[in-house]
Amino acid sequence: MDEVQEGDELFALLTLALLFCSQFGVLAWKKYHPSSFQSVTLIGLWIVPPVVGIILKNYRYVIICVLFGIASFIIFRKSQEKPLKPETPRTLYTWFAIIHKVTYFMGAFGYGIFLLGMFIADQTKILEFGLYFAFYGIYFGILNKDTVDELSSRMALNAGYIQKQGIPTKNLNSNVCSICGGRTIEDERSYKLDCGHIYHEYCIRGWIIIGKKATCPYCKEKVETKDLTNNPWNKMDIMYSNILDFFRYLLVWQPLIITVVEIFSRIHTKNQSIDETTIINI
């Protein structure tokens, strides 16, 4: 029996070490290799929550995920067209803006309903309804933001004026938007950055609000973008994006870490039962 107790204590220490090291590892991965972290997290967002929904037999949620996936695939096909159509960035960022605001209000509404239910006795259905709405808002908000972020990067690479590394495959003319490759004409709203490069306003606004750094997409020079984000709606979008960044970890990595710990716990419990049976037989 003493050996069994020692085994329990050792397992508890190993579990705590696993929880600590895994979370530290995820944060280190995000800091030193953000590109691969973002890609793997996006894949996890598309796979982990829907799989949990299937296990819990929440088919309504699974159906919504499928419909959202179909719409995102259509946008993905458009972003991969060569040559890239000038209206594609507008379509991409319009889609992002609509879903972003819808999920924002869903999350806020669900949170408000949840708080209301806490002050009403024996109203678990109200609490559940609020949590459902808040979850849908947060999950699809994160999924929308990360998906459009990835698509916008791919779209910009397809235009040929932006490269992750090295020299762009095309020289940028003074009246060309490097994000979409379209020309900036006089009757269309455009924005000139401090570095001198000109962009369609909806292209550069979407590029910044989605979560890009405040740098020129073409020359990577840090620029001032307050004029693009001083609108109250844009400030709200940026604030909501920061909130989504926090919940991303809870939706993808926390369930995976808990699942791994649960697997180790089941294996340990099974081995412990075998050891106890052996001791009793002896």
What the block records as the tokens of 152 is 């916008």
Domain boundaries, the chain: 21-281
User: Is the link from the previous residue into 168 a cis peptide, with omega within 30 of 0?
Assistant: no
Kindly report, residue by residue over 97-109, the tens digit of the pLDDT: 788 888 888 988 9
**What angle (nearest 5°) sits at the alpha carbon of residue 181, between those of residues 176 and 185?**
45
3-class state of residue 180 by DSSP: coil
What's residue 228's pLDDT?
A: 60
Give the count of beta carbons closer than 10 Å to the beta carbon of residue 271.
12
pLDDT tens digits, residue range 38-89? 888 888 888 888 888 898 888 899 999 999 999 989 888 887 777 777 777 7
The mean predicted confidence, pLDDT, of the chain is 75
**Which of 166, 165, 177 is CA-nearest to residue 202?**
177
Q: What is the pLDDT of residues 183-195, one digit of tens each?
A: 776 656 777 777 7
What does the alpha-carbon distance between residue 138 and residue 143 come to, in Å, rounded to a whole number?
9
Q: 16-54 b/e with 16+ CB inside 10 Å = b?
A: eeeeeebeeebeeebeeeeeebbeebbebbbebbbeebe
Alpha-carbon distance of 169 to 174, in angstroms, equals 16
Q: What is the pLDDT of residue 81?
A: 79
Q: What is the per-residue DSSP string for 204-265?
A: HHHHHHTT--SB-TTT--B---HHHH-SHHHHHHHHHHHHHHHHHHHHHHHHHHHHHHHHHH
Q: What contacts 153, CB < 8 A, 6 or more positions away?
A: none
Number of Cβ within a 10 Å radius of residue 187: 4
- H helices of 33-123, where? 34-55, 59-79, 88-118
Q: Which residues of the chain have pLDDT under 70?
A: 1-12, 15, 19, 121, 156, 158-173, 181, 185-188, 209-214, 223-238, 241, 264, 268, 270-282
Q: Cα(172)–Cα(179) distance, rounded to whole angstroms?
A: 11
By the 8 A CB rule, do 181 and 217 touch? no
Of the candidates 195, 193, 196, the residue with the CA atom closest to the CA atom of residue 207: 193
